């Protein structure tokens, strides 16, 4: 769905440091959590825009964490397996 080239993110990780980027990821996840909670209480266009902005920040940071925590595991395969399990649990047909 979203692909951010590693060569764009690696210099950011190097400049800021892994620890700082881990902390930034936590902060961005928290901001998305808050925006989503607001959207449950008040689903206005402004709130939706805020959620979208925070999702973009989270995607950028999670993409950096994929680089930081690269352990050779195929994250795409893990994601596919988890989605398949959810489909089975919900009785949905796999696409």
CA distance 44 to 42: 6
Q: How many domains in the chain?
A: 1
pLDDT of residue 2: 77
| Structural domain includes residue 81 | no
| Structural domain includes residue 15 | yes
| Structural domain includes residue 77 | no
pLDDT of residue 72: 65
Q: Which of 2, 24, 29 is nearest to 13 (CA)?
A: 24
Q: Which domain holds residue 55?
A: 6-70
| Structural domain includes residue 47 | yes
| Structural domain includes residue 76 | no
| Structural domain includes residue 87 | no
Compute CA distances 9 → 14, 59, 66, 71, whole Å: 9, 12, 10, 17
| Structural domain includes residue 88 | no
| Structural domain includes residue 60 | yes
pLDDT of residue 24: 98
pTM score: 0.88
Q: What is the mean pLDDT of each run of 10 residues along the chain (95 residues)?
A: 89 98 98 97 95 98 94 84 95 84
């Amino acid at each position: 769905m979203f692909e951010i080239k590693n060569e764009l993110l690696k210099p950011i990780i190097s400049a800021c440091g892994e620890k700082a980027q881990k902390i930034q990821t936590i902060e961005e996840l928290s901001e998305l959590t808050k925006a989503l909670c607001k959207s449950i209480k008040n689903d206005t266009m402004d709130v939706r825009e805020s959620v979208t902005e925070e999702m973009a920040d989270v995607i950028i940071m999670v993409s950096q964490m994929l680089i930081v925590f690269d352990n050779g595991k195929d994250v795409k395969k893990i994601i596919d397996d988890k989605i398949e399990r959810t489909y089975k649990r919900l009785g949905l047909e796999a696409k």
